Amino acid sequence: MKLTAEISMYPLKEDYVEPIHWFIHRLDNYPGIIRRTNAMATQVQGDYQAVMSMLATEMQAAHEKFGKAVFVCKFIGSELDLSHTE
């Protein structure tokens, strides 16, 4: 089963840009997972278990490295066209 997820990271610190870039670029290290980022959020897509495992691993790593951060996620159990625009 495929999964598409949208995730936004909100580090609870003044220098919030570095942790966000760090998190986004770590998502590129997972083969078989597609990442698209815009000004508001990052979308990832791939096998359901692979995406969920990646997010759990990388959110934990971000908390360990940078401390407090809020992650807001949306999930749809399907493969969406991430290039779609209107």
Q: What is the pLDDT of residues 10-30, one digit of tens each?
A: 999 999 999 999 999 999 999
Token duo for residue 61: 């790593």
- Residue 32 to residue 62: CA distance in whole angstroms: 22
Instruction: Provide the β-strand partners of residue 63.
Output: none
Q: What angle in degrees, to the nearest 10, is found between the helix axes of 48-66 and 17-26? A: 150
Give the residue from 67, 75, 62 showing the smallest Cα distance to 21. Answer: 62
Phi, psi of 21 (to 5 degrees): -60, -40
Specify the DSSP class assigned to residue 38.
Answer: -
The pLDDT tens digits for 26-62 are 999 999 999 999 988 999 999 999 999 999 999 999 9
Task: Please state the pTM of the whole predicted model.
Answer: 0.90
- Residue 6 to residue 10: CA distance in whole angstroms: 14
